[in-house]
Structure formats: structure tokens, C-alpha cells
Amino acid sequence: MASEQIAVRLPKDLLEKLDGLVRAGLYESRAAAVRAGVETIALIERRREVDRSIVEGYQRTPPTPAEETSALESIRQAIAEEPW
């Protein structure tokens, strides 16, 4: 995959945290940690888009009372089946 280098300025305390993650072996370099952070932000934003789409869908076509009852029963059953 092609990549492009960027320059990023970070406050000293955030840079110290970043370096701590690298020292702890969680990431092999600062760049790897920053890449992981950007990937995580992109994933979170994608999930938010999906959530918004689901909400908009339900607002356009609300569930029927029977569907709501069925959904609640399904949730109750799933909780009852949990091993806790």
C-alpha cells in the first residue's frame, strides 16, 4: 500500500504518553502508534455513520408494536441465557 509521510505536532505530555506506549512494547514505533490511532478513529467514525443510518431508518419506518414486543422478548431471552 502506498503511503505518505506527514508531520504532526503534539503537546509534550501527549508525546510522553506516545513514547510510553512504544517503550512498553505496545507499538514498535511512534509511527505505528499514530497509525493505529488514526485507524481506530476511522473505525469509530464508520460505526457512527452506520448508527446514524439505523436511527434514520427507524425514524422513517418505526417498528410496529408487535416488532417492539418481539425485540424485547429476544433481549430478555438473550440476557437469561447469559452464564452470569
Regarding pTM above 0.85, the answer is no
Note the helical H segments in the chain: 12-23, 30-60, 65-80
| 64 φ/ψ sector (left φ>0, alpha ψ -120 to 50, else beta) | beta
pLDDT tens column, 52-75: 999 999 999 999 999 999 999 999
pLDDT tens column, 13-34: 999 999 999 999 999 999 999 9
Which pLDDT score is estimated for 1?
Answer: 84
C-alpha dihedral (47, 15, 27, 29), degrees to nearest 10:
120
